[in-house]
Amino acid sequence: MFILGAYSVNAQVKYGPVLGVNMSSYDGQKIGLGAEFGVFAKIELLDRFGWMPEVRFGTRASSTVDAAGVKTKYSRSAVDIYLISFYIPFSDNLNAWVGYRTSTYSNGKAKTPNVPDMDILVGGNKGLFVGLIYETVSGFNVRVNATMLNIKDGETSDISTSGMELSLTATYAISW
């Protein structure tokens, strides 16, 4: 004899745009500022615990100065995918945000005065992130998150680097 049980999950779903700035540093490079935008969904699975996938497009920047004082500026564009991403409540307005992020880089450039531009790290990265989300009653949210990255060049499998990114983003959540 089989006993089958089922229950209905009344998941609350919110979605909306993401806008923000980021700071990144790779292998000890000086920190640079970038911008990002995208979309997110917040799907409540249990009482205030849930899944929060997100896709962002962003720019990254950093720089180095060599021993002769010549500055090289690095810039990259990326599509970031936060697919394995969960939020955990601390209070009604404050949540922890943790998960795994993967990115695809394109248009990476290194610019040094009097030297032709060089393509760099046209590949991808992956990393773990942790952050905080402050939610307002009106639907606006402020988020900060830090990501530890391992970056791999897509064309040369033996080139890789590691880095850290900090993001400060604002979102507006629309209930569905």
Q: What is the distance between the alpha carbons of residues 155 and 20, in angstroms, rounded to a whole number?
A: 30
Report yes or no on 44 lying in a domain. yes
- Which residues fall within 8 angstroms of residue 44, CB to CB, at 6 or more apart? 11, 12, 13, 50
Report yes or no on 1 lying in a domain. no
Residue 164 belongs to domain with CATH number: 2.40.160.20
Report yes or no on 40 lying in a domain. yes
Q: What is the pLDDT of residue 152?
A: 61
Q: Convert the pLDDT of each residue in 86-145 to its tens digit.
A: 888 888 889 898 988 888 776 778 889 988 888 775 667 788 888 899 988 888 889 888
Report yes or no on 7 lying in a domain. no
Report yes or no on 157 lying in a domain. yes
Report yes or no on 5 lying in a domain. no
Which 3-state string (H, E, C) describes 23-53?
EEEECCCEEEEEEEEEEEEEEEEECCEEECC
Range of the domain at 158: 13-175
Tell me the sheet residues that pair with 85: 99
Report yes or no on 129 lying in a domain. yes
Q: Convert the pLDDT of each residue in 15-58 to its tens digit.
A: 999 999 988 777 767 788 889 999 999 888 887 678 889 999 99
Report yes or no on 6 lying in a domain. no
Q: pTM to 2 decimals?
A: 0.76
Range scoring the smallest mean pLDDT among 7-11, 85-89, 94-98, 152-156 = 7-11
Total domains in the chain come to: 1
- Model confidence at 7, pLDDT cuts 50, 70, 90, reads very low
